[in-house]
Every structure is written in structure tokens, then in C-alpha cells.
């Protein structure tokens, strides 16, 4: 998949080191493999619309950026609910497939690797019901 | 990619990734500030920034545009040593 993860919070990079060394390295063998970025004051988070200036922290914003630097998707959650990493991975797989097909294929609702894609074009207009069933939107 | 450096501050460059930050030198009105907040749109370039980072035992400086050519997952979270 080859995606680069970057995590960001308002904590200093010194605190990131302490968190990695004292807690996260006990959950993830070898410690956190990606850069842990510091955004003191939330300047970067503000530009991305995820910094909560009242609480002084970032919300759980996740931005998917393609190799051209274009944001292809994002999700923002308030702090108490964690994300679904599997869904992020699925979205990357879908966007990579579409990009590799140069836009000749599209991934319908519920698509995951192994499921069929759609090939948009004049022949498919009004015919999606023949090639794709709503049950395929679910696992 | 990201060189090891002394501590700095995180800052947006004022431009999207892969393009010069020309708009930053102009005087800012509150209207422009509002526009800056509305920069995030799917299908548009991500705002570029630099930020100090901790990565595998080293302190580095990360610039988003250094990762052009790769898929990037940029994840914000509330804080270290919190629970979720």
C-alpha cells in the first residue's frame, strides 16, 4: 500500500518521545514507526479545521492525501470516539485502485479488495441494477 | 526525507503542497482569515506546513510537501497519554 502515516497533536516532540518510550512501545513492538508531529498552539490544526481553541486540543481529524498532494477524503470525530483504522485502509485501497485505472473503474458502496468494481460509461447507464446488488454494500 | 534538526515551531507555509506560499506576504484581513479556515476541500490541494517531530529516536522537522509522490494519512488526535 505504501502510505505514509503522520500523527499530529499539540504536545511537544519531547512529550511524544516520552509517550512512545513509556507507553506506546509496550503496545507496538519497536515503538511508533511513523513521525509524531508537534503542533503547539494548533496552528496547523486550525488550517485543517480540526483545532478546538476552547479545549486547546485537536479533534480526531484524518486526512487522506494522494501522491499529487490532493485531499481525497477526510473524517473528523470529537475526542471520545476512536477511529476505524480498517475503514481508512479500505479507502486507501479503493483510491489506489481508481487511480491505477486512470478513472476507468469506480468502487461501489461496500467495495473492498476482491469485490467487483464498476466501469462507468454509456453502457452502464440505467444498468447498475443488473451488475450490482444492494446486498453487496454490506460485508 | 526529513532532516534531523533542533526544535522549531509548527507552522503552515501559507500555501498548498507543491506550490509557493505567495499569499502569506500580503496583509491579512479578517475575510482572508475566514478563507484560510475554508481551505479544506476534497479534491483540492492540502495546505502545506512544517512541524517538529519525534521519529524512531530522533527529533526531525517534517514538511508535508516532502511526501509528494506518496499517499499520506494525516491523523490529528487530542493528546499524548490520553485514553482513546
- Asked whether residue B13 is domain-assigned, the answer is yes
Query: What is the nearest CA distance from A105 to chain B, expressed in angstroms?
Result: 18
| Higher local confidence (pLDDT), B38 or A92 | A92
Domains (ranges, CATH) in chain A? 1-76 (3.40.30.10), 84-139 (no CATH)
Residue B65 lies in a domain: yes
Classify residue B10: in a domain, yes or no: yes
Residue B33 domain-assigned?
no
- d(CA A46, CA A9) in angstroms, rounded, equals 12
Of the candidates A58, A67, A61, the one whose C-alpha atom is nearest the C-alpha of residue A38 is A58
Question: Does B54 contact A35 at a Cβ distance shorter than 8 Å?
Answer: yes
**Count of alpha carbons within 13 Å of B76, Cβ hemisphere only?**
30
Shortest distance, CA A3 to any CA of chain B (angstroms): 5
pLDDT at A51: 98
For chain A, the first-to-last Cα distance in angstroms comes to 22
Q: If residue B46 lies in a helix (H) or strand (E), which one and from where to where? A: none
Contact indicator for A64, A74 with CB cutoff of 8 Å:
yes
Taking the Cβ of residue A10 and every Cβ of chain B, the question of whether any pair is shorter than 8 Å is answered with yes
Q: Residue B51: which domain range?
A: 1-22+46-84
Choosing among A47, A59, A93, which should be mutated to test the B contact, i.e. which has the most B CBs within 10 A? A47
From residue A128, give the alpha-carbon distance in Å to each of A107, A116, A124, A135, B79: 12, 12, 6, 13, 45
Q: Is B67's pLDDT higher than 60?
A: yes
Pairwise CA distance, residues A16 & A12, whole Å = 6
Q: Is the ipTM of this complex over 0.90?
A: yes
pLDDT at B25: 47
The count of domains in chain B is 1
| pLDDT for res B69 | 98
Q: Is residue B30 part of a domain?
A: no
Provide mean pLDDT across the span A122-131. Answer: 94
Q: Flag whether pLDDT at B23 surpasses 80.
A: no
B64 assigned to some structural domain: yes
Residue B11 inside a domain? The answer is yes
Q: Tell which of A41, A65, A78 to mutate to test the B interface (max B CBs under 10 Å).
A: A65
pLDDT score recorded for residue A30: 96
Residue A72: closest C-alpha in chain B = B42
The answer to whether residue B3 is domain-embedded is: yes
Amino acid at each position: 500500500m505504501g502510505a505514509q502515516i503522520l500523527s499530529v497533536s499539540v504536545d511537544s516532540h519531547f512529550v511524544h518521545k516520552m509517550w512512545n518510550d513509556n507507553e506506546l512501545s509496550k503496545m507496538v513492538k519497536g515503538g511508533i514507526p511513523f513521525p509524531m508531529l508537534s503542533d503547539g498552539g494548533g496552528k496547523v490544526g486550525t488550517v485543517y479545521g480540526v483545532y478546538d481553541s476552547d479545549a486547546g486540543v485537536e479533534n480526531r481529524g484524518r486526512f487522506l492525501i494522494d501522491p499529487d498532494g490532493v485531499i481525497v477524503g477526510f473524517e473528523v470525530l470529537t475526542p471520545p470516539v476512536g477511529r476505524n483504522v480498517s475503514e481508512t485502509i479500505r479507502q486507501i485501497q479503493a483510491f489506489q485502485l481508481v487511480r491505477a485505472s486512470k478513472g476507468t473503474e469506480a468502487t461501489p458502496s461496500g467495495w473492498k479488495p476482491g469485490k467487483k468494481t464498476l466501469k462507468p460509461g454509456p453502457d452502464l447507464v440505467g444498468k447498475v441494477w443488473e451488475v450490482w446488488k444492494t446486498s453487496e454494500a454490506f460485508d | 526525507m526529513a532532516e534531523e534538526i533542533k526544535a522549531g515551531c509548527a507552522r503552515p507555509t501559507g500555501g498548498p503542497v507543491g506550490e509557493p506560499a505567495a499569499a502569506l506576504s500580503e496583509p491579512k484581513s479578517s475575510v482572508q482569515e475566514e478563507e484560510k479556515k475554508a481551505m479544506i476541500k476534497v479534491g483540492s490541494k492540502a495546505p502545506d506546513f512544517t512541524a517538529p517531530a519525534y521519529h524512531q529516536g530522533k527529533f526531525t522537522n517534517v514538511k508535508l510537501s516532502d511526501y509528494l509522490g506518496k499517499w499520506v494519512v494525516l491523523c490529528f488526535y487530542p493528546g499524548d497519554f490520553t485514553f482513546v
